[in-house]
Amino acid sequence: MNRRAFIHNGIGAASVLALAGTGKGSSSPRSAAPAGKAFKLKYAPAIGAFKAHAGDDPLAQIAFAADEGFGAMFDNGIMGRPAAQQEAIAREIAKRNMVLGPFVLYADFGKKSFVTRDKDVGDMLLQKMKDGIACMKRTGIKQALVVPGHFDESLGWDYQTANVVDNLRLCADACAPAGLVLVLEPLNPRNHPGLFLTKIGQAYQICKAVRSPSCKIVDDIYHQQITEGDLIPNIEAAWDEIAAFHLGDNPGRNEPGTGEINFKNIFRRLAEKGYQGVLCMEHGQSKPGKDGERAVIDAYRACDDF
């Protein structure tokens, strides 16, 4: 799924059709658990994921998700919504005793940004942090996603890494007093060639160098299955720096059970480790319409049955 399209449309019809598949993975058999029962973990549908059931109104979609037992939601592009709508979404989330997952603060895939020592880039990033803090204050979302951008073919990798660390320290220092946590997302090079940050171990090394509680990792299971696999061992190894998760099966980037990933085992391990954070359902659905939305919910019921 194209991140820009996902931010712009939620899980719109075009994205769903582009991602539709007929894979029948064996890792997530369908479950008959009753609708409305609270899930064990905070799986977070995107605002826009249940339009066929709830319509276009984000508040109605939140109500539908809560009634189905979800304890969280997320909206990558919430910064682009009018302030009044941001606040209305936050009120509805609080009313339903839910939480909102990370929003996208900075993800310019084509720009050499964090890898540089450019003062103008540093000034731009600081302004982004101010904008993110303002969004946090309106919505209550404590985590904001950052992608460090494109790598620089003309500069040695170690120098780029040092620049990324320095720029992240600058950003984290700006965010920490307000309580905003930046979560770095490694993305796979097949779908997003040319990006600096691709692996969990690489993100872990950077977070350790930044040494700030406002610089953590979002582990996107879909991306990491493509990039390096070894999902649970990498979760274990980077555990103290992981603050959030993104979900999506591979191939296809649809709901659990449509690809090769054993989500039930992953979710079981997260529960065993006491994970209390959000797991953003950043994927499409394998079938269109209400049937497709119900299939997504059923897939999570099955994987949550551990």
Bridge partner residues of 217 (DSSP): 184, 242
Query: What tokens appear for 198 in the block?
Result: 């691709």
Bridge partner residues of 112 (DSSP): 149
Say if 158 falls within a structural domain: yes
CATH of the domain at 215: 3.20.20.150
Q: How confident is the model at residue 234 (pLDDT cuts 50, 70, 90)?
A: very high
pLDDT at 285 over 80: yes
Q: How far apart are CA 63 and CA 92, in angstroms?
A: 8
Say if 28 falls within a structural domain: no
Kindly give, in sequence order, each residue whose CB lies less than 8 Å from that of residue 89, ignoring residues fewer than 6 positions away: 47, 58, 59, 62, 75, 78, 81, 100, 139
Give, to the nearest 10 degrees, the angle between helix 119-139 and helix 157-175. Answer: 40
Q: What is the CA radius of gyration of the chain?
A: 18
Q: pLDDT by residue (tens digit) across 137-165? A: 999 999 999 999 999 999 999 999 999 99
Q: What is the DSSP string of the chain?
A: --HHHHHHHSS-HHHHHHH------SSS----PPTTPPPSSEEEPBTTTTHHHH-S-HHHHHHHHHHTT--EEB-TTGGGS-HHHHHHHHHHHHHTT-EE--EEEE--TTSB-TTS--HHHHHHHHHHHHHHHHHHHHH---EEEE--BB--TTS-HHHHHHHHHHHHHHHHHHHGGGT-EEEE----TTTSTTBS---HHHHHHHHHHH--TTEEEEEEHHHHHHHT--HHHHHHHTGGGEEEEE---TTTS-STTSSS--HHHHHHHHHHTT--SEEE-----SS-HHHHHHHHHHHHHHHT--
Average model confidence (pLDDT) for the chain? 91
- So what's the pLDDT on residue 2? 53
Say if 76 falls within a structural domain: yes
pLDDT at 9 over 50: no
**Average pLDDT of 78-97?**
98
Say if 33 falls within a structural domain: no
Number of domains into which the chain is organized: 1
**Count of Cβ atoms closer than 10 Å to residue 193 Cβ:** 11
Say if 118 falls within a structural domain: yes
Q: Report in angstroms the alpha-carbon separations of 62 from 137, 141, 174, 254.
A: 20, 15, 31, 21
The range of the structural domain enclosing residue 160 comes to: 3-20+41-303
Q: How far apart are CA 253 and CA 256, in angstroms?
A: 9
Say if 36 falls within a structural domain: no
Q: pLDDT by residue (tens digit) across 100-143? A: 999 999 999 999 999 999 999 999 999 999 999 999 999 999 99
Q: What is the pTM (predicted TM-score) of this model?
A: 0.89
Q: pLDDT by residue (tens digit) across 12-55? A: 333 333 333 333 333 434 444 566 899 999 999 999 999 999 99
**Average pLDDT of 89-109?**
98
pLDDT at 7 over 90: no
- So what's the pLDDT on residue 28? 39
pLDDT at 188 over 80: yes
- So what's the pLDDT on residue 11? 38
Say if 273 falls within a structural domain: yes
**Beta pairing, strands 103-106 & 215-220:** unpaired
Nearest-CA neighbor of 68 among 39, 93, 30?
A: 39
Kindly give, in sequence order, each residue whose CB lies less than 8 Å from that of residue 254, ignoring residues fewer than 6 positions away: 19, 20, 21, 23, 248, 283, 284, 285, 286
- So what's the pLDDT on residue 153? 97
- So what's the pLDDT on residue 36? 82
Say if 26 falls within a structural domain: no
